[in-house]
A and B are shown apart, each in its own frame.
Chain A
Amino acid sequence: MLKNLINSIFDTATRRFDGPLTVALIVLAALSMTVVFSASGGVTFDRSMGQLRNFGVALVAMWIVANIPPQQLMRLAIPIYVAGLALLIGVAFFGELRNGARRWLHIGIIVIQPSEIMKIGVPLLLAWFFHRKEEGLALKDYAIAGLMLVIPVYLVIKQPDLGTAIMIFASGFFVIFLAGLSWKIILGGVIAGAAALPFAWPMLHDYQRQRVLTLLDPMQDPLGAGYHIIQSTIAIGSGGILGKGWLNGSQAQLDFIPERSTDFILAVFGEEFGLVGNLLLFTLYLIVIGRGLMIALNAPTTFSRLLAGAVTLTFFTYAFVNIGMVSGILPVVGVPLPLISYGGTAILSLLVGIGILMSISTHKQLVST
């Protein structure tokens, strides 16, 4: 009797968990706490415990989302998007200024960062939009979708928060792309974008321009803007094949790497665990992304297909942009290393995304077409 009860509770609790994703996630979380411990000096457990708490909260959110059927999620698309947009506008007018950027908003007792909501809100709305247009897509539908994407992206760029804007744009673009946006338009867009570059350049903030210039020549300002890139590539490069060993990275432990437990945590990881560690990490990411794409391919509805695909590819974008920037092949933008970097907000939004994937993967038998 009791055994049955326990079994049924366990089953209820875990039946929405996707096996491969769950395993990859646990390994990543463990890895994260290990590196965060090292990156925070290797003495106190404060940050590792903080990261454990971040994962705990995010896992609960993931479990809740995983238990919401995709049809329910679809109904949430408009409310979430509209609420997110309203908050973004609120930020533009009433936002709190910190370090020269207006990203946070006081609502009652808590301070939130509405741009994070849009990382889920935009793909959700666009997937819903294309799902409704299932019967056939006209060019003007893409235009409407483009508008729904560009408005929040614009507001976030203005905050300014280029990293988050890129992630929101990517998440929405993937939906539009997967929905079948013509290659001609994409090609045209790329050409137009390239042509617009000289005009966009003066519109960037000084620090953004500096980051691009720094990427092209980090030695130009080795103690200023180039410092991050120089120090992180030194850290990774000096790690070699096997790494210097946990807690033994001189770059990391001697405080040469800035933001070493957040955006630049890969430098610590790469220095201490070497090429082997990096390839293991890449493999874990590939498992998550591969599983996500499989879920998308097997998803029964247009909405779930597009949403699953976009969420997965957004995850990929996180990883690619961060690794690219820390290893010195992309400009420095504020994007964390997914599920490794210290920080509650990013982990929460990533795990909500994975919760969506799990929901789609485990609810498909209930959907009849």
Chain B
Amino acid sequence: MVGTAIKNREAELNTFRSRALFCGACVLLAFMVLAGRMIYLQVIKREYYHTLAEANRISVVPVVPNRGLILDRNGEVLAANYSAYTLEVMPARVPNMEKALDDLATIVDIQPRDRRRFKRLMEESKNFESLPIRNRLSEEEVARFAVNRYRFPGFDIQARLFRNYPHGDVASHAIGYIGRINDAEVKKIEAAGLASKYKGTEHIGKLGVEGSYEAELHGITGSKQVEIDAAGRAIRSLSTSAPRAGNNLTLTLDIKLQRVVEDVFGDRRGAFVALDPRNGEILALVSKPGFDPGLFIDGIDPQNWDLLNTSIDKPLLNRALRGAYPPGSTLKPFLALAALESGKRTPSQGISDAGFFALPGVAHRWNDDKKGGHGWVDMYKSIVESCDTYYYQLAAETDIDKTADFLRLIGFGAKTGIDIDGEVEGILPSKAWKEKRFARAAADARKWYLGDSISAGIGQGYNAFTPMQLAHGVAALANQGIAYRPRLLKAVTDSGSGARRDMDAVIDGKLGVNPQNLEVIRRSLEGVVKEGTSARVFTNAGYISAGKTGTAQVFGLKGEKYVESRVAERLRDHAWYIAYAPAENPTIALAVLVENGGFGATAAAPIARAAFDYHLLGKQPDPKLIQAFRKNAEEPD
């Protein structure tokens, strides 16, 4: 027994020894493999990995150029930049964002509004993007965060440039705004091959001059070689190629005139376009209500966004370019000119107006505004007193297509070619237009009727034009039939050389009308101001102007959402006024539209007067006029 036990023990010991030695050999072999691997990595492939490590360490980061400034024609700053600190976060690096934000709120002031906006940004952005939570941190907040930074991985303070619009909502539609680049814009930038130019850029012009002159304003992105850590945080900068700031834009706008007009508009809705008939420079481009462009800079918060979008007042709609309204009586001078040119009328040829127009064999009567009629009406009186019957008759005798051809010369029914985007064409009714418009309707709905011509004959019916088109049209009358393409850009100042490049005035239409005919119309328009529908508004003006009132009936509220309580107000007529001054050698031509303003003479013409008074005489409007159309003025505080 003992012998076998010893023998077993001996055998067991031998087994163990051989196994242990085997293991020892394996260990040695294993470490030789590891050492071999290390020699492979650190000796043979050293150069390769060294290169990779250098590439890892040094990164080229874009340096975003300063955006160009926007100035008005007198050098007043409309859009500028300022530098401020933002608190930003890369969401991918924060596992529990809600908690992190709660903690952060104890250090930096974070309003519910900031949170909502940030949430919206998160939904729209990639996970590895750095997103702003708070802008414009105070020095104290920056310091407090810096001390606590270690508690917030993924969060960092960045110095960023911000856009500033010193005039707030004044001229907001003309200047536009910048906002964060969205997915659609990223695709557009990539398609245009500008991806590298936009590296590091977070904002892009969205509307107005900011949007349409993005290429001028953006500048050229620079680059900086920096040593970075894996989080992309720059540790130190190694070399820099400086960015080139965007070019400064000088606009044709006169911001003071713009402000006068917006003040006088008060809280009314509408549009106003004033331009220099001699070269197409737009002096004021108003669409009311406006909006605060500053809201968009870092992603608008959902509440404000909804407010802007769902408001029945449509503050984001640029009414001057995108609102198409029936021109009403403001179309009459153009129709009269067409009649003179075609020979359908002579200036002295007249009608006897009994207060209505009727067609033989048709029961329907087209009424004039004035009960009992205007009596004997020639062309001058038809414009000065805005006699409808005269134009019913004219329309009944004229082929609508002939009228349309003439109006097209003046630019109606087509984009005026203003240098910011978004303009609509409006509707210039013709037989072909109706055929196309109702292509899917029954044959008799596609047909052009005489009744269509008659209502179109006083600027109603299918007619729908933008305030921009009316301003452009009246400017052509003011400038001897020569129309210039309206533009907002006066000059570009190169950020590098400082050289100023003035934009050329572009003639976009010569009416080619008989100067005598034009003279008849111009005298008539002066008559409107002297003894006609707007005479009262322009008493003691101190200059002679020419104009035409218009009152457009509102049918149907095209595309508008109905709000019961406001329907009554919204069914009121639109008030128009088109004008130019001084009557000889005009320097300003304008079109005013007040939505649901009522009579053109009472609602729209005073706005034109205020604009002329300022532009020609430097006179500020009567404060009473400014207060008259402010809702808050009526309510005690």
Contacts and interface: CB of A to CB of B under 8 A. Distances in A.
B42 A236 contact: yes
Contact of B57 (A174, A254, A328): A254
B34 A282 contact: yes
Nearest to A253: B229
A309 B41 contact: no
Most buried by A among B9, B19, B38, B54: B38
Nearest to A320: B30
Nearest to A309: B20
A255 interface: yes
Interface stretch (B44-52, B129-137, B310-318, B468-476): B44-52
Contacts of A69: none
A234 B31 contact: no
Interface string A270-295: 11001100110010011001100100
Interface string A312-341: 010010001001100111000000000000
Contact of A241 (B9, B12, B31, B42): B42
A235 to B, nearest CB: 7
A327 B230 contact: no
A254 B56 contact: yes
Contacts of B24: 289-290, 293
A355 interface: no
B19 A320 contact: no
Contacts of A51: none
A279 B8 contact: no
Contacts of B19: 177-178, 180, 309
Interface string B4-37: 0100110010011101100110011011011101
B42 A282 contact: no
A309 B20 CA distance: 7
A98 B463 CA distance: 71
Contact of B27 (A237, A238, A289): A289
Contacts of A235: 53
B236 to A, nearest CB: 11
B441 interface: no
Interface in B210-267: 227-231, 235
A257 B56 CA distance: 11
Interface string A154-188: 00000000000000000000100111100000000
A236 B16 CA distance: 38
Interface residues of A, number: 50
A136 B8 contact: yes
| Most chain B CB neighbours (cut-off 10 Å) among A179, A234, A238, A329 | A238
B97 interface: no
Contacts of A236: 38, 41-42, 49
Nearest to A238: B53
Contacts of B229: 254-256
A96 B157 CA distance: 36
Nearest to A257: B230
A256 B229 CA distance: 6
Contact of B50 (A238, A255, A329): A238
A290 B20 CA distance: 11
Nearest to A181: B19
Given A240-B43, A274-B42, A327-B41, A282 B23 contact: no
A177 B20 CA distance: 9
Given A134-B8, A236-B42, A240-B43, A251 B56 contact: yes
B355 to A, nearest CB: 81
Contact of A286 (B9, B31, B41, B50): B31
Interface string A117-155: 000000000000000001110000000000000000000
A239 interface: yes
A254 B227 contact: yes
Interface in A215-262: 231, 233-241, 250-251, 254-257
A323 B34 contact: yes
B5 A135 contact: yes
B10 to A, nearest CB: 12
Given A231-B56, A275-B39, 18 more contacts: A134-B12, A178-B19, A179-B15, A236-B41, A237-B49, A239-B42, A240-B42, A257-B230, A275-B42, A278-B42, A293-B20, A293-B24, A296-B20, A302-B16, A313-B23, A313-B27, A316-B27, A327-B37
10 contacts: A134-B8, A180-B15, A233-B41, A234-B49, A237-B50, A256-B229, A270-B41, A285-B31, A306-B16, A316-B30
